[in-house]
């Protein structure tokens, strides 16, 4: 009788576990934000080095708020062109993005702006041209990132008032300028500052006061994260008011 009782007890425990396991798995999914890191990485916004924990302005901000709310960030690297599709299939939860860079922004939910993405002009330090207006760019050869659009000067490029020379990434763009194949670079301001600091180029290059284009960099989530986005925006506002957000940004300049 005792043996039969033990068998029945074990069977009931196994049955209970069979129901409990899917629930536990679902809870684990809820606590994890599958976050798309750029491929390749996009310093200083996203930095993903071998055998090193992820970091960067955008990662640090998301990780700070998510951790405080009890979520874990699961970094994932997939090609940029597959991100929207994977998010629509719920294979990814979030990615850094500007609304202006998204074909169907209505399919997703966006956080408030984290940091502005400004395109500026980088020139050699010995260049005495004072670039304060877009018209000052006429006649210049400018290095640019292949595949990137620069709406404010597209007409000047189309009219060949500006000659555009593309490079695969920002580091290669600096190579164009170092070899004097171009007169300046159309580049993201924080990326330029990060590279200049990393490679100790401050005696070689300077950044213009002219902001060619500017958009707000934020996070794009699938719509089932709407409640988290509300909380995120509240926490982001507090980080901005306390100066914590500025401190994160300053770490990478």
Q: Please provide the DSSP assignment of 201-235 as one string.
A: -TTTEEE-S---EEEEEEEEE-GGGHHHHHHHHHH
Task: Give me the pLDDT at residue 242, please.
Answer: 98
Helix (H) or strand (E) holding 140: none
Task: Give me the pLDDT at residue 6, please.
Answer: 52
Q: Do 68 and 41 contact (CB within 8 A), yes or no?
A: no
What span, in angstroms and rounded, lies between the C-alpha atoms of 176 and 19? 62
Q: How many other β-carbons are positioned within 10 Å of the β-carbon of residue 240?
A: 14
Is the model's pLDDT at 24 over the cut of 50? Answer: no
Let me know if 161 is exposed, middle or buried by CB neighbors in 10 A (0-12, 13-18, 19+): middle
Give tens-digit pLDDT for 32-51: 999 998 777 899 999 988 88
Q: What's the pTM?
A: 0.84
What span, in angstroms and rounded, lies between the C-alpha atoms of 241 and 28? 33
The average pLDDT across 114-122 equals 97
Is the model's pLDDT at 134 over the cut of 70? Answer: yes
Q: Do 232 and 65 contact (CB within 8 A), yes or no?
A: yes
**Strand locations in 131-212, DSSP E?**
141-145, 163-167, 184-188, 205-207
Query: Which residue segments constitute the domains of the chain, with CATH numbers given?
Result: 28-115+216-251 (3.40.190.10), 117-214 (3.40.190.10)
Q: Do 236 and 245 contact (CB within 8 A), yes or no?
A: yes
Is the model's pLDDT at 20 over the cut of 90? Answer: no
β partners of residue 165: 143
What span, in angstroms and rounded, lies between the C-alpha atoms of 77 and 47? 11
pLDDT band at 21 (very low <50, low <70, confident <90, very high): very low
Token representation of residue 115: 């940091």
What span, in angstroms and rounded, lies between the C-alpha atoms of 49 and 37? 11
Candidates 61, 188, 37; CA nearest to 113 is 61
Lowest mean per-residue pLDDT among 48-57, 186-195, 224-233: 48-57
Give tens-digit pLDDT for 142-185: 999 999 999 999 999 999 999 999 999 999 999 999 999 999 99
What span, in angstroms and rounded, lies between the C-alpha atoms of 110 and 100? 11
Lowest mean per-residue pLDDT among 76-80, 101-105, 190-194: 76-80
């Amino acid at each position: 009788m005792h043996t039969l009782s033990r068998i029945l007890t074990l069977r009931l425990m196994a049955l209970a576990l069979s129901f409990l396991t899917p629930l536990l798995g679902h809870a684990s999914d809820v606590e994890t934000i599958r976050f798309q890191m750029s491929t390749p990485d996009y310093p200083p916004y996203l930095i993903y080095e071998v055998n090193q924990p992820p970091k960067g302005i955008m990662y640090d901000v998301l990780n700070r708020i998510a951790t405080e709310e009890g979520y874990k960030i699961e970094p994932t690297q997939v090609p940029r062109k597959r991100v929207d599709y994977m998010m629509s299939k719920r294979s990814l939860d979030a990615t850094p993005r500007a609304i202006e860079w998204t074909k169907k922004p209505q399919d997703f939910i966006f956080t408030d702006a984290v940091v502005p993405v400004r395109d500026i002009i980088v020139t050699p330090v010995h260049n005495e041209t004072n670039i304060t207006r877009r018209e000052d760019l006429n006649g210049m050869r400018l290095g640019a990132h292949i595949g990137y659009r620069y709406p404010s000067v597209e007409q000047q490029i189309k009219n060949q008032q500006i000659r555009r020379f593309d490079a695969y990434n920002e580091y290669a763009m600096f190579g164009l300028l170092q070899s004097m194949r171009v007169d300046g670079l159309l580049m993201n301001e924080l990326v330029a500052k990060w590279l200049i600091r990393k490679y100790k180029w401050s005696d070689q290059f300077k950044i213009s006061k002219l902001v060619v284009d500017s958009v707000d960099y934020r996070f794009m989530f699938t719509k089932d994260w709407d409640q988290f986005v509300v909380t995120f925006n509240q926490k982001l506002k507090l980080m901005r008011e306390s100066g914590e957000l500025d401190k994160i940004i300053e770490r990478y300049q």
